[in-house]
A and B are shown apart, each in its own frame.
Chain A
Amino acid sequence: MEIIEMGALALGSAIRRREIGVREAAESYLDAIEARDGDLHCYNTVCRDEALERADEVQKGIDAGVYTSPLAGVPVGIKDNICTKGVKTTCSSKILSNFVPTYDATVVQKLHDAGLVTLGKLNMDEFAMGSTTETSFTGATHNPWDVSRVPGGSSGGAAAAVAARLAPVTLGSDTGGSIRQPASFCGVSGLKPTYGAVSRYGLVAYASSLDQIGPLGHDAADCAALFAEIEGKDKMDGTSMENPKFDFEAATAGTLRGKTIGLPADYFGEGLSSEVRAAVEAAAKTCEELGAKVETFPMPIVKYAVPAYYIIACAEACSNLSRYDGIKYGYRSEHAENLMETYVKTRSEGFGMEVKRRIMLGNFVLSSGYYDAYYNKALKAKKLIQQSFFEAFEKYDMLLGPVAPTTAPKMGESLSDPLKMYLGDIYTVMINIAGVPSMALPCGFDKAGLPVGMQFIGKPFCEAEILSAAAAFQQATDFHKQSPQQD
């Protein structure tokens, strides 16, 4: 099998057996990127020289027994909102187009310590705001299954790179579905961990109370392996927590037998495309055949999820993005005559439309006189959403539902109708508000041959359980083994 078709754990295993060299692995991917990324634009920055140099170091480390991780020597792509020391971290925004961090994010440090080799930085929606990767200042990423379609977003580069075999595994971030939705559109697997399971230190914040870094890969086992490397309490992130329940063996065991799975009825209501519904319902049947008990239950709170999400996320975003003011780093307008103009022009010229829209929305909902009507109400909705998940998990081990109402739309369709784009997040944003983990994986294809995704939603810190359920499903199916036709 070609190196780039292998997947992360298989490649790591071959590297450990000295069947494949670390440099050889990195070169295979770098060559593939060079050949195909011109069309797809998964990467904002490719670190060819650094990667090859690092590959040689890691090879020595593996030979010396320093690196023992199952992923030692495996290449990895990093979403461009995760800080990498000495390598540009742009968030796909003009305002950070020249920003080079002076430090590594905790997850990057952890991957470095485990001996993974960074290939480069992956394209995304600007500041992770968007569901298509079209809001990127560097240009849109194309869906490898159909280049006229979007890869989803905001981790579009991270998902498309795995689908197009331009990285075996990638790190994305998920604030309202930004790992799971592109994973679904691109036919790959992706995990949104429990809030606090992975350190956010070094993740450029969009909405701090919702952001989580997570892995994308060919299958659940690869995601489990990458998650195992990055999870855990970090002293640099006060909101991170130890997860004593996580165990890699359990996460890859492949267990659905005896599990009770709830299907939220409101995940299958109006707005869901019939093809997606059919694929997810068929997958639920497969779960039953694999020994799970599946049951539909009402979850009416779903309709409040999107408005609550956009209020909370935008409120935090307008504050988080205020630091891009042209004073300290990043883009500064050349046309400013004084301090106020520096702020106004820098931010007007430096941010794209979608980011500006969310900054304005956030400022509005936090304004005195509106705070109670919007922000406080959204916090109340958050409590109710958490409560309904808590109640659901008293009955079920996990929930199962679609990731997105449709398969990947055509490029250009979404930006003209932002409200429609926001409603497309209906099945994913609730999970971030509740802070629970969710594993997205492919479960079929529509008539156009585009992947359909579903998600197993788990109890807090029960990543192992949903990863294992996904692994069981993948042991019985081959949707995840399909890859887009290459020209």
Chain B
Amino acid sequence: MEWEIVMGLEVHTELATKTKIFCGCSTAFGGEPNTHVCEICSGMPGTLPLLNRRVVEYAVRTGLATNCNITRKNKFDRKNYFYPDLPKAYQISQLYLPICRNGFIEVKAADGGTKKIGIHEIHMEEDAGKLVHDEFSDCTLVDYNRCGVPLLEIVSEPDFREASEVVDYLEKLRAILQFTGVSDCKMQEGSLRADVNLSVRPKGQAEFGTRTEMKNLNSFRAIARAIEYESRRQIDILEDGGKVVQETRRWDDTRGVSYAMRSKEDAQDYKYFPEPDLPPIEISDAFIEKVKAEMPELPEAKKRRYIEELGLPEYDTSILTSDLAFVRLFEATEKLCQSPKDAANWIMGEVMKLLNDSGTLPEDMTLSPEKLAAVINMVKAGKINRGTGKTVLEKVFSQDVDPETYVKENNLAQITDLSALRPVLEEVIAANEKSVSEYKGGKTQAMGYIMGQAMRALKGKAPAQEVQKLLHEMLDS
């Protein structure tokens, strides 16, 4: 039987606001435990939440960028459950009136075309703290630093049929969140987390199968693997005549398996009800217009501009706009070196290779546009050749050296004065009598060897064309 996989995503993203959603504490990642904490975010008796307006602005920005309708009268609700990382024993969230609804993101479909993935809703909520198990004293400690960091939960419709669609959606969504300045989307710091709801059904069947929800997916690669594993697991169960159990499963990326965390029967009753401590938030036309006017350029718009104004091929624009770090590097470098195509080529070629080889994430890259442009400009001006350029860039990348100083100190600049070549070539000719006489005897292939010896003597710092021309001049006469 042919099976179809049906998936929906719940994405949590931490917002890049400076302060928490309901108090003035810092949202900075890291920090000594319980140092970004006050009476409010630690849930002390008598305290009240105070809404950070910037969170509403970011939520509206995200909604507009994903083609959503914006809810004009917003309310918060309480989601009640006990856990030590949740000091109030309820999370302030939005159930009844989420701030954004009915949007979509366009993704690459498996058949090569495009496909709209519906966004069911986006709502605002607060993050919980973190439990740290201390092996040494065998006790669990709580760090409330993350408590109250603003989150958006972005819930898709069950529109995905292929893992590749899921990954493309997440890449698009991440780019939107980064480009709008809403989130830095660092998966390894937990500022972008995705849960996958997955079911399978015989191809052609209208109703959905029983779904499971997978958590703890910490990278795009883990997501793709978990989807493969879970769809296989469900198909195997069904093909053996069994039934899929509705449950929440945890992905173990090291072992490459998922296991059940809790079934539907253990599902908590969160007893949602309207949050009485926060007055409703009215979103006016003027506010939406203001957010629209201040909206940073989104990936699609950037692509169009790169094609139309900078003359880049579409392929380049897709790669460059896949991450805000590339965009920032490209736009600044392009201006400094006055050559969009050179900037694009260097980023797509050398920079990405260096990132890959060193396992560095784009957002952690320290390479400055000034230094990249300096390398490009030196190559363009013929001051160094492309190969030397790559070597210099590698040093810049790994040790943040100054490219011009590095070239100078290591004597890497091209020999531009042709008269300086002649004495070196004379030495080469003298030292390779055998090859020279072979060449002169009509064995033209010998020139290749002489050329190689010449370039080695020149340490590659002379333009090969000029060297060859001069050799011919000296030997052919």
A323-B89, A327-B84 as given contacts; A375 in contact with B273, CB under 8 Å: yes
In the complex, are the beta carbons of B271 and A204 less than 8 A apart?
no
A103 to B90, CA, bound (A): 22
The answer to whether B42 has its CB under 8 Å from any CB of chain A is yes
The answer to whether A162 has its CB under 8 Å from any CB of chain B is no
Which segment of B47-55, B187-195, B293-301, B394-402 sits at the interface? Answer: B47-55
Q: How large is the interface on B (under 10, 10 to 19, 20 to 34, 35 or more residues)?
A: 20 to 34
Residues of B within 8 A of A480 (CB): none
A91 to B276, CA, bound (A): 21
The answer to whether A202 has its CB under 8 Å from any CB of chain B is yes
Residues of A within 8 A of B48 (CB): 200-201, 236-239
Identify B273's interface contact among A81, A237, A315, CB under 8 A: A315
Identify B42's interface contact among A82, A209, A239, A328, CB under 8 A: A328
The answer to whether A243 has its CB under 8 Å from any CB of chain B is no
Identify A83's interface contact among B43, B45, B87, B277, CB under 8 A: B45
In the complex, are the beta carbons of A329 and B88 less than 8 A apart?
no
Identify B45's interface contact among A204, A207, A339, A371, CB under 8 A: A204
Instruction: Closest A residue to B50 by CB, please name it.
Output: A238
In the complex, are the beta carbons of B279 and A238 less than 8 A apart?
yes
A residues 363-378 near B (Cβ < 8 Å) are 363, 366-368, 371, 375
The answer to whether B447 has its CB under 8 Å from any CB of chain A is no
Residues of A within 8 A of B87 (CB): 323, 327-328
Q: Write the A314-352 contact mask toward B (1 if CB under 8 angstroms, else 0).
A: 011011001101011100000000010001000000000
B residues 265-288 near A (Cβ < 8 Å) are 269, 271-273, 276-279
In the complex, are the beta carbons of B273 and A319 less than 8 A apart?
yes
In the complex, are the beta carbons of B50 and A235 less than 8 A apart?
yes
Chain B: minimal CB distance from A422 (Å): 21
The answer to whether B142 has its CB under 8 Å from any CB of chain A is yes
The answer to whether B404 has its CB under 8 Å from any CB of chain A is no
A239 to B281, CA, bound (A): 12
Residues of A within 8 A of B80 (CB): 318-319, 322, 366
The answer to whether A96 has its CB under 8 Å from any CB of chain B is yes
The answer to whether B46 has its CB under 8 Å from any CB of chain A is yes
B residues 29-49 near A (Cβ < 8 Å) are 39, 42-49
A461 to B89, CA, bound (A): 34
In the complex, are the beta carbons of A209 and B276 less than 8 A apart?
yes
The number of chain A residues with a CB under 8 A from chain B is 43
In the complex, are the beta carbons of B277 and A105 less than 8 A apart?
no
Identify B46's interface contact among A204, A209, A322, A328, CB under 8 A: A204
Q: Secondary structure of the B side of the interface?
A: loop
The answer to whether A255 has its CB under 8 Å from any CB of chain B is no
The answer to whether A99 has its CB under 8 Å from any CB of chain B is yes
Residues of B within 8 A of A91 (CB): 45
Residues of B within 8 A of A327 (CB): 84, 87, 142
A residues 200-239 near B (Cβ < 8 Å) are 200-205, 207-209, 235-239
In the complex, are the beta carbons of B90 and A319 less than 8 A apart?
yes
Identify A239's interface contact among B90, B142, B273, B279, CB under 8 A: B279
The answer to whether A68 has its CB under 8 Å from any CB of chain B is no
Chain B: minimal CB distance from A374 (Å): 11
The answer to whether A101 has its CB under 8 Å from any CB of chain B is yes
The answer to whether A136 has its CB under 8 Å from any CB of chain B is no
A209-B276, A238-B279, A319-B90 as given contacts; A368 in contact with B269, CB under 8 Å: yes
In the complex, are the beta carbons of B271 and A363 less than 8 A apart?
yes
Identify A323's interface contact among B45, B271, B279, CB under 8 A: B45
A89 to B51, CA, bound (A): 26
Chain A: minimal CB distance from B132 (Å): 14
In the complex, are the beta carbons of A323 and B39 less than 8 A apart?
no
Q: Write the B77-92 contact mask toward A (1 if CB under 8 angstroms, else 0).
A: 0101010100111100
A228 to B50, CA, bound (A): 24
The answer to whether A102 has its CB under 8 Å from any CB of chain B is yes
A315-B273, A325-B82, A375-B273 as given contacts; A205 in contact with B46, CB under 8 Å: yes
A102 to B45, CA, bound (A): 10
Residues of B within 8 A of A323 (CB): 43, 45, 87-89
Residues of B within 8 A of A205 (CB): 45-46, 277
A413 to B78, CA, bound (A): 37
A residues 411-451 near B (Cβ < 8 Å) are none
A72 to B269, CA, bound (A): 51
A322-B82, A366-B273 as given contacts; A101 in contact with B46, CB under 8 Å: yes
In the complex, are the beta carbons of B271 and A319 less than 8 A apart?
yes
In the complex, are the beta carbons of B50 and A329 less than 8 A apart?
no
Residues of A within 8 A of B44 (CB): 101-103, 329
Q: Write the A225-267 contact mask toward B (1 if CB under 8 angstroms, else 0).
A: 0000000000111110000000000000000000000000000
B residues 18-38 near A (Cβ < 8 Å) are none
Instruction: Closest B residue to A234 by CB, please name it.
Output: B48
Chain A: minimal CB distance from B54 (Å): 15
Identify B90's interface contact among A102, A209, A238, A322, CB under 8 A: A322
In the complex, are the beta carbons of A105 and B279 less than 8 A apart?
no
Chain B: minimal CB distance from A381 (Å): 15
Chain A: minimal CB distance from B99 (Å): 17
A166 to B117, CA, bound (A): 69
Residues of B within 8 A of A318 (CB): 80, 271
A208 to B50, CA, bound (A): 14
In the complex, are the beta carbons of B46 and A105 less than 8 A apart?
yes
Residues of B within 8 A of A371 (CB): 271, 273
A99 to B46, CA, bound (A): 12
Residues of B within 8 A of A239 (CB): 48, 276-279
Residues of B within 8 A of A319 (CB): 78, 80, 89-90, 271, 273
In the complex, are the beta carbons of B84 and A339 less than 8 A apart?
yes
In the complex, are the beta carbons of A322 and B88 less than 8 A apart?
yes
A327 to B89, CA, bound (A): 11
In the complex, are the beta carbons of A238 and B49 less than 8 A apart?
yes
A94 to B324, CA, bound (A): 54
Chain B: minimal CB distance from A376 (Å): 9
A208 to B78, CA, bound (A): 12
A residues 285-324 near B (Cβ < 8 Å) are 315-316, 318-319, 322-323
Residues of A within 8 A of B273 (CB): 315-316, 319, 366, 371, 375
Chain A: minimal CB distance from B188 (Å): 28
Residues of B within 8 A of A105 (CB): 46
Chain A: minimal CB distance from B282 (Å): 13
In the complex, are the beta carbons of A96 and B277 less than 8 A apart?
no
Instruction: Closest A residue to B85 by CB, please name it.
Output: A327
Chain A: minimal CB distance from B19 (Å): 14
Instruction: Closest B residue to A127 by CB, please name it.
Output: B45
A200 to B43, CA, bound (A): 15
In the complex, are the beta carbons of A203 and B276 less than 8 A apart?
no
A177 to B87, CA, bound (A): 30
Chain B: minimal CB distance from A127 (Å): 10
A200 to B46, CA, bound (A): 8
Q: Write the B56-93 contact mask toward A (1 if CB under 8 angstroms, else 0).
A: 00000000000000000000001010101001111000
Instruction: Closest B residue to A235 by CB, please name it.
Output: B50
Q: Write the A267-286 contact mask toward B (1 if CB under 8 angstroms, else 0).
A: 00000000000000000000
Instruction: Closest A residue to B79 by CB, please name it.
Output: A319
In the complex, are the beta carbons of B50 and A322 less than 8 A apart?
no
A residues 11-31 near B (Cβ < 8 Å) are none
Residues of B within 8 A of A202 (CB): 46-47
A103-B39, A209-B276 as given contacts; A201 in contact with B88, CB under 8 Å: no
Q: Write the B99-124 contact mask toward A (1 if CB under 8 angstroms, else 0).
A: 00000000000000000000000000
15 A–B contacts from the bound complex (CB under 8 Å): A102-B44, A103-B47, A200-B48, A207-B276, A237-B48, A239-B277, A318-B80, A319-B271, A322-B80, A323-B45, A323-B88, A325-B84, A327-B142, A328-B87, A375-B273
- Known A238-B277, A327-B84, A328-B42; further 4 A-B contacts with Cβ < 8 A: A203-B46, A207-B276, A238-B51, A367-B269
Q: Which 8 A-B residue pairs are closest in the complex by CB-CB distance? A: A322-B89, A366-B271, A209-B276, A208-B276, A204-B45, A202-B46, A83-B46, A204-B46
Which residues of A does B touch, CB under 8 Å?
81-83, 89, 91, 96, 99, 101-103, 105, 200-205, 207-209, 235-239, 315-316, 318-319, 322-323, 325, 327-329, 339, 343, 363, 366-368, 371, 375
